[in-house]
Structure 1
């Protein structure tokens, strides 16, 4: 397929799935080397979709701008087969990622941390995380197949996965209700987009490629913001996500908005926000990968 044919196909896909004008769709399609691809398959199970979205949300809040080697959520590769999802994690982030996902009561925060209802089971060099909120599960492995270490439990934390392995406790039930509290339409867009982010690490990790880090944060349970500098232009990353079907199936009016004046793109209303800074935001005295590797992830986080 010629480059011009691909540009036209991508512009047509953008127009078909969004209300972005044709001229803007063409501009996005020309912005980089994004080729139209068959989308990574979504899960068809609502519980699995919710679990994957909660995992994305939790890892984004946990790592923020503390990634290693450009793994935005700690994920290097995702193997998908129907509802099955295997996440291959950056080895230097893997144990912290596991610890952040497991639910625990934080007496200092006076609230739940981690994903409510998640329970771990070792399976060789992998860890299977099953949810008590339905039959959903995700499998974790390190990218180099090195073993997971036992996650550290911090002062004031009570590990709920260990204290109550088969029964949801009240803080978990409250956490699940909080996750499900947005209006159904907003909740559906959020869960679909955050699940798609988790299943497309190679795409979203482009934002962190130049410095090895980017910034992820959220507002409550409603969204995910990815903010970066010095990496792909906003148009390029947005076009890449749209080329891989990230906005497919969303209501067209809210599927994607491109706001160049503020260097922002919105997907699913505001469930996924892309924001590129015009100047470098990484200080020259940033900690080196070697120094970071010498610290425990938990101590650096706090």
Structure 2
């Protein structure tokens, strides 16, 4: 095997582990120059697409990220692969709606748009960024009627305000636009992490849980219930060049990665601190 072919296989392996794509697809991308050792997972092609993906990830990070199984991280119009039995968790987390108190939940400006037998998540604000949803069951999708309603009979805003923002969405987006501080680095961190979501899914596979949160010190904290899972996740994020310095851990705690002015921390928590999976073993006294 030539050095060039060997390098392509290495890059393809990194891409496959980070995204969940097949090795053949990643190998073809490497041959076409779409992925390299410096950038083994493609970035979003525009600031609008990157910001849109960041807003999606911010909502999914509450727990619904495990309703996904992988991603096809194209520069434009990436595709999210939905879990066959947990797709509703993803939609419930993302689709904007008013809860029983009138508060806005979900991603403001997000709309679910049918396209033949598939569905798109689109951004009503710039009308450019979008993400395709892939489901393993043909014909899957929201249906009209009571099953499409949420929060005490309220219709989600993607149905009631398809072509214009609801006032609650407009107010929230306007407030965010006035906030100072650099959001570019945070958008880049969140978009890149979404494009490596298979690493997070695999980290939660052993016991069914992985926790994502934000703190005053970190833009993103990922807690794994197993030390080996945390180490594997950190290695995967570094190897897949979440930050530019792919092989350099840099200063600070070994579980931190800086992406410009934004930072993600990977931590190990005892299994007993996580919710017990349904029909799972009693893990309350387990540490690993």
TM-score, normalised with respect to structure 1? 0.68
- Of the three residues 268, 283, 288, the one matched with 1:277 is 268
Distance 1:268 1:281, change over 3 A: farther
Aligned partners of 2:53 and 2:190 also within 8 Å: yes
Tell me whether 1:223 sits opposite 2:216 in the alignment. Answer: no
Name stretches of at least 5 consecutive residues in structure 2 with no aligned partner: 11-36, 281-288
Equivalent positions of 1:204-215 (< 5 A) are 204-215=200-211
Name stretches of at least 5 consecutive residues in structure 1 with no aligned partner: 10-35, 64-71, 290-302
| Structure 2 Cα separation of the partners of residues 284 and 191 of structure 1 | 29
Tell me whether 1:268 sits opposite 2:256 in the alignment. Answer: no
Aligned partners of 2:110 and 2:122 also within 8 Å: yes
- Of the three residues 118, 122, 127, the one matched with 1:130 is 122
SS in 2 for 1:154: coil
Q: CA deviation at 1:50?
A: 0.9
**Greater relative contact order (Cα 8 A, min sep 6): structure 1 or 2?**
1
Q: 2:164: which partner in 1?
A: 167
Q: CA deviation at 1:283?
A: 6.3
Q: CA deviation at 1:113?
A: 0.8
Tell me whether 1:84 sits opposite 2:77 in the alignment. Answer: yes
| Structure 1 Cα separation of the partners of residues 76 and 276 of structure 2 | 43
Q: CA deviation at 1:119?
A: 1.5
| Structure 2 Cα separation of the partners of residues 257 and 160 of structure 1 | 44
Q: CA deviation at 1:276?
A: 2.2
Aligned partners of 1:223 and 1:270 also within 8 Å: no
SS in 1 for 2:272: coil
Q: 1:192: which partner in 2?
A: 188
Distance 1:258 1:98, change over 3 A: farther
Count of matched residue positions in the alignment of Structure 1 and Structure 2? 244
Distance 1:206 1:81, change over 3 A: same
SS in 2 for 1:91: coil
Tell me whether 1:39 sits opposite 2:40 in the alignment. Answer: yes
Distance 1:78 1:283, change over 3 A: closer
Equivalent positions of 1:57-136 (< 5 A) are 57-61=58-62, 63=64, 72-108=65-101, 110-134=102-126, 135-136=128-129
Q: 1:82-108 deviations in whole A, cap 9, x for unaligned?
A: 211110111221123123211112242
